[in-house]
């Protein structure tokens, strides 16, 4: 009886571990270390693997804790990783991000962030990875000016626009779908 009980216990543990494993999140292949997503097998709404996906994330929110990653920015990494994991080639993923309001601070380099908030920018490595993956990251010039952020204080590769409104309208005209975060 003990052997049967032990065998049954092990059997249920294996089932449980497979269920947990099936629900694990994975990062990559485009943005390693960020943007973990769940795999979704056989969705009823089928993914068009021939489509070009053009999206601009409109990012305004930021964590109140200065040492925490901005999850709205990480959404771009999740978008890239989930579609790449599902068979969309990177060349068919066109991603831009327009950052303004409170989220503007998340585009500061470590020196500027440290000076203002006494910690390194927790978003720095994520921003660098997104830029390396050809994500266009645009800082609202109006937000930058109102918060006293100089161009030299931004992470290298971040662009400044006249305004978030201008950048969003222009990208919309180029066929990007705007997702407000």
pTM of whole model > 0.75? yes
State the angle between helix axes of 71-85 and 124-132 in degrees (0 to 180), rounded to the nearest 10: 40
Residues listed for the chain: 181
Full set of structural domains in the chain with CATH: 53-180 (3.40.1260.10)
Q: What is the mean pLDDT of residues 115-125?
A: 97
Per-residue pLDDT tens over the stretch 7-62: 444 544 445 444 444 579 999 999 999 999 999 999 999 999 999 999 999 999 99
Among 123, 165, 111, 117, CA closest to 140: 165
The dihedrals phi and psi of 93, each to the nearest 5 degrees, come to -110, 110
Q: Are strands 136-140 and 159-161 parallel, antiparallel or unpaired?
A: parallel
Phi, psi dihedrals of residue 102, rounded to the nearest 5°: -65, -25
CA 147 to mean position of chain CA atoms:
24
Residue 176 has pLDDT above 60, yes or no: yes
Strands (E), the chain: 25-26, 37-38, 53-59, 93-99, 136-140, 159-161, 177-180
Closest CA to 158 of 143, 170, 172, 140: 140
* Beta bridge mates, 56: 96, 178
């Amino acid at each position: 009886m003990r052997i049967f009980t032990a065998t049954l216990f092990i059997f249920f543990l294996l089932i449980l571990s497979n269920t947990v494993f099936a629900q694990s999140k994975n990062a990559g292949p485009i943005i390693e270390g960020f943007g973990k997503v769940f795999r979704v097998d056989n969705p009823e709404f089928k993914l068009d693997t021939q489509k070009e996906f053009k999206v601009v994330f409109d990012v305004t929110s930021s964590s109140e804790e200065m040492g925490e990653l901005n999850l709205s920015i990480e959404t771009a990494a999740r978008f890239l990783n989930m579609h790449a994991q599902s068979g969309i080639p990177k060349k068919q993923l066109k991603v831009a991000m327009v950052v303004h309001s409170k989220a503007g601070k998340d585009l500061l380099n470590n020196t500027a962030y440290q000076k203002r908030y006494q910690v390194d920018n927790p978003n720095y490595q994520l921003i660098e990875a997104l830029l390396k993956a050809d994500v266009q990251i645009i800082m609202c010039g109006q937000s930058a000016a109102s918060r006293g952020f100089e161009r030299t204080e931004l992470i290298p590769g971040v662009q400044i626009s006249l305004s978030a409104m201008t950048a969003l309208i222009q990208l919309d005209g180029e066929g990007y779908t705007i997702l407000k975060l």
